[in-house]
Each structure stands twice: as structure tokens, then as C-alpha cells.
Amino acid sequence: MRWNWAALMALAVLAGCGDNLAGPPPAPPPALTFGPVGSLTAPSGRGGFRFGAASAATQIEDMNPSTDWYLYTRPTADGGLGQGVFVGDAAGGYTRALEDVQLLRDTHLDSYRFSIEWARIEPERDHIDEAALAHYDALIDALVAAHIRPVVTLHHFSNPVWVDDPRDTGCTNGPGDANLCGLGGPGGADVVAEMAEHAALLAARYGDRVDEWGTLNEPINYLLASQGLGVFPPGKRKLFSLLEEFVPVIRDYLAAHAAMYAAIKAADTVDADGDGVAAAVGLSLNVVDWVATNNHRPSDDPVDLAARDTAIYLYHHLVVEALTQGKFDPNLDGTLDEDQPTWRGTLDWLGVQYYFRTGVSGHRAVIPVVNLNPCANGLDFGACLPPEDITWCVPTMGYEFYADGLHDILVDFSTRYPALPLVVSESGIATEVGARRAETVVRILEAIARARAEGVDVRGYYHWSLFDNFEWAEGFVPRFGLYHVDYATFARTPTLGATVLGDIAARRGVTSDERVLYGGSGPMTPEPSVPADATSCLGLGE
């Protein structure tokens, strides 16, 4: 049964007006408190908490022509490939980087997770752009001066063109003719070494001020989109040759993580924040609340339950198991039986990025070997949930935001890896409505607080995103920002989400009143011009 505090209070008041009093109104929900700003990984940081926001360079930065995304999305008349919506000057976030630090201050955030654009630092192989390095120096200095802890992501969905040239999607695993393949992207012969070299450069340059590093952003999701389904550059479609072509790319990308981990540890030896840890290196995974389904209904058929468990393994656990144990699962059969000793113990923290709940079925499976059929991106075949089961449709993304799902996922990670500190390194919603964003903030914090009260070591929440930006294949329509961006002027304007998160971060807790107004699990404030029956969440492949 769905509920929210405001509805319960209203019911209680109504009941009090009648002859038959239904008893005292329910007690308001208690305030939630979060700990002080703490270390992401040191044992002393347990109990502490970060209130932050996240972004990624390609999604926000203007004047960024050396990325695969720029070439891929640029109109053909201008020499690009004309795929999807042109990223152009994105949200103007390069020119405005220092001004945007003020947005973090205004929101009382204590940490900022952002990425450094590899293509900008090294626009051509072995040519390092000193001005770009200096730009990120200035950003990091401004953050440190404002007591905002930088968490730097090294690889967030984009490459320099020389690493992965989207002009020839036929290239596989290595340089091809006419220099059109670049190095072949993740999976390419020299790419692991190049990524490690890049990581060493950044760690040496910024390690005196940065202690927290994320190597890869959502590795499985990224590889599925770029190399599996071809919706991100370079547009390769290897998913349907799963074991032969796609799995080797996963292996190489994880090898790149391990090489970057070692490079950062060697190059960043300065403990900038005094927590006893010079370099805390982790990565972020996208996690999903997978529900077993069949024929558009929740299902307890063992075939569907097995598909759900497989989806959880592939999305949530394959990467973590591989990097903690130093083993890989080349057949995706659930057994990690390939030794990768250099991978072992290369995860100091795990970022969890949660956006939605969705169905997965084992019937009419469309993906070979793993035998599952998810409701996502055009794949349905009965796996999508019916409209009446969809609580919070996010129409511009076509999925359902379901805050409670995060709690169970956090508990699952904590149970399996009790020594691994967790951080919600992204969570947010695409919406035009400030109240919906405020509801998202409070409900996600409620889910995190519930997990923390049960002993789960979650050390922070980074809202995605600080301001509206380029949402990859979806372009500029979905708005994820705490701050609204006017794309004609790049002006930033706070949403109610920024105000509410700012109040919460300033006092490091959620009040009872905020929970009454925005919390619980009842219906969210509707998105204007979108039918409340949420059928647009069923538009996936139907």
C-alpha cells in the first residue's frame, strides 16, 4: 500500500471532523540526522556523511571539441556524424566553472563529484594541454578554499577521438587503417596503458588537494550503451555476440580500472584532508531495483526469478566480485574462475547510482547466454510493469523512480561486502517540477537513513546533478539539475530541490516537517502536461 505523511495527516484531520473519532492523528515522522562530514574510506569516517552533487565534464562543459561525443553528435554539415542531439556547448560549464562553485556553496554542499575531461587534457596522443590542466587546478583550488571536498571521476562515458574514433564503427580492438579507429576504445590494445598513464598524470598533478578518485563511471551501463547496443559513440553493437565480442571488452575495462588504481596509489601520496588516506580509489555502479515479471505482471515463476537474479549479478555484483577477489567470469555463468591477480583489492569505496525500478523476465529472452529480457530501451516482450504498478513515472526518461528500492540494494551490498564503504554517488530525477525534485531528495535520504539505522555503512549522497545538462542520447530535454539552466543564456536558477537540499545540508538532517511535506512513498507532485496514469513509462518497446 502506498502512503505519505501528508495524506495520512489529512485523513486523520478529516476523521476528526466526523462523529466517530478514529483515534489520535498519527505521530509525525521523526527528524533524521546524518553524521558530520567524514572520510569516505577511513574507519573513522563510519557514521559520517557527505551532502554533495555530481556532474560529468562532457555533460556540462562548453568548448569541448576533442571528445568522441562532440564528433558523434555534431551535424554532418560541420564535419560530424550527426547522431542524436549535438552536445555543442552543453551547459556552459567550462567557462563558468568557478562561478558554479558558488552554487555548491549556496546549497551548503560539502563535496562535489565531477569528472576531468581526458580529451581536453590530452586532445592528441601524448600532447598534454597545460591550459586545461591549469583550468582544473583553479577549480580544485576554489573547491578546497570553500571546504568542498573534490571527488574526481576519471572516465565518465567519453573518450578523446584518438582513443575511440566513432567514424569507423567496424574497427574492433585495435588500430585500423587510415587512423580512423583510434585505439579502438575500451578493449583496444593500448587503451589500458593509456588510461593508466592519464590517471598517473592527474594523480601527480592534483593529488596534493584531491584524495578521492573514481576510475570508471557505471562500467556495465557504459559498455552496454557504447559497445553493446550502439546508442553512445562509437556506436558498436557487440551485445548479440556476447561472449566472443562483448565480454572481452568488459574484461579490458576492468583491467583499465586496476591499472588506474595502481597508478593513482603510486602517484598520489599526499593526504590532503588529514584522514590518514592519501588516495581513496573506487568506482561507481549503476544499480537498478529489478523486479521479476512476466506478461506485464510481477512473477514468481522460477524462470523469471532466475532472470532477476542474473540481472542483479551482472549489474551489481560481477564488477565488485571481480575487483575484490581478483577473478573474472568469462562465461557469465556466475562463477569467477579466471584469475586476475592484479585486480584483487582494488576497490576502496563503492559508488552506488540509483535511478529506477524495472521489470525483468526470463521468458522470450532476447539476450543470448544470460537468458533474460529486461524492460529497458526498447526491449520489453512482456517484462514491463503495468501502469497501475508504476508509482513515479519519469516521463522524459521512460522509467519509474522508486525511492524505496535503494534501501534494499544498499542492504544487499552491505551484507555481501561488509568492509566496503558505500556512497550514493548519484541519484536524482529528470523533472521540470521543483517539488518533485524536493520529494526525490527527501525520499532518497529517508531510504539511506533507514539503511544507515540498520548498520549499513553509507557515507554520502550526491544529487545528480548540480545543474541541468546534456543527457547523452536523450539530449537536453530531461532536466536533472538542482539548478535550472536557460540554454539560451546559460543562466542558472535554483529549483525548490536546491532550496530543500540546501536547508537539509546546512543542518545535516531532515526535519519532521520536511518529511511531512516531501517524504513517504505516496504519489509525487505530477509532471505538468504528462498524464498522471504514467502510461508513458510503458512506452518502452511496446
**Which residues of the shown chain bind ligand BGC in the complex (CB under 6 A)?**
56, 59, 217-218, 221, 286, 353, 355, 426, 464, 471, 480
Q: Which is nearer to ligand BGC, 156 or 407 (CB)?
A: 156
Q: Nearest approach, Cβ of 121 to ligand BGC (angstroms)?
A: 19
CA–CA distance, 21 with 13 (Å, rounded to integer): 10
CA–CA distance, 417 with 324 (Å, rounded to integer): 9
Q: Nearest approach, Cβ of 413 to ligand BGC (angstroms)?
A: 17
Q: Which is nearer to ligand BGC, 120 or 209 (CB)?
A: 120
Q: Nearest approach, Cβ of 12 to ligand BGC (angstroms)?
A: 38
Q: Nearest approach, Cβ of 353 to ligand BGC (angstroms)?
A: 6
Joined grid coordinates for residue 173: 580492438
Q: Which is nearer to ligand BGC, 5 or 213 (CB)?
A: 213
Q: Nearest approach, Cβ of 221 to ligand BGC (angstroms)?
A: 6
CB burial class (10 A; 0-12, 13-18, 19+) of residue 17? exposed
Q: Which is nearer to ligand BGC, 221 or 324 (CB)?
A: 221
CA–CA distance, 162 with 67 (Å, rounded to integer): 9
Q: Nearest approach, Cβ of 90 to ligand BGC (angstroms)?
A: 12
Cα 291 to chain center, whole Å?
20
Q: Nearest approach, Cβ of 219 to ligand BGC (angstroms)?
A: 11
Cα–Cα distance list, 516 to 403, 446, 495, 519, 522 (Å): 16, 12, 19, 6, 11
CA–CA distance, 192 with 197 (Å, rounded to integer): 9
Q: Nearest approach, Cβ of 20 to ligand BGC (angstroms)?
A: 49
Q: Which is nearer to ligand BGC, 209 or 463 (CB)?
A: 463
Q: Which is nearer to ligand BGC, 73 or 353 (CB)?
A: 353
Joined grid coordinates for residue 406: 535503494
Q: Nearest approach, Cβ of 286 to ligand BGC (angstroms)?
A: 5
Cα–Cα distance list, 523 to 3, 383, 389 (Å): 8, 23, 12
Cα–Cα distance list, 230 to 60, 164, 174, 234 (Å): 22, 13, 18, 7
Q: What is the dihedral of CA 124, 130, 131, 132, to 10 degrees?
A: 60
CB burial of 348-376 (b: ≥16 within 10 Å; e: otherwise) equals: bbbbbbbbbbbbbbbbebbbeebebbbbb
- CB within 8 Å of 291: residues ≥ 6 apart: 298, 308, 357, 358, 359, 360, 385
Q: Nearest approach, Cβ of 217 to ligand BGC (angstroms)?
A: 5
Q: Nearest approach, Cβ of 403 to ligand BGC (angstroms)?
A: 16
In contact, 72 and 65? CB cutoff 8 Å: no
Side-chain half-sphere exposure of 282, counting CA atoms within 13 A = 21
In contact, 515 and 5? CB cutoff 8 Å: yes
Q: Which is nearer to ligand BGC, 214 or 434 (CB)?
A: 214
Q: Which is nearer to ligand BGC, 429 or 449 (CB)?
A: 429
Q: Which is nearer to ligand BGC, 51 or 69 (CB)?
A: 69
In contact, 214 and 351? CB cutoff 8 Å: yes
Q: Which sign does the torsion angle of CA 378, 381, 384, 387 carry?
A: positive
Coil, strand or helix: which one is 518?
helix
Q: Which is nearer to ligand BGC, 56 or 504 (CB)?
A: 56
Q: What is the dihedral of CA 135, 485, 106, 462, to 10 degrees?
A: -80
Q: Which is nearer to ligand BGC, 437 or 452 (CB)?
A: 437
Q: Nearest approach, Cβ of 484 to ligand BGC (angstroms)?
A: 16
Neighbours of 318 (CB within 10 A): 21
Q: Which is nearer to ligand BGC, 91 or 171 (CB)?
A: 91
Q: Which is nearer to ligand BGC, 34 or 401 (CB)?
A: 401
Joined grid coordinates for residue 229: 547496443
* Radius of gyration, alpha carbons of the chain: 23
Joined grid coordinates for residue 241: 555476440
Q: Nearest approach, Cβ of 472 to ligand BGC (angstroms)?
A: 6
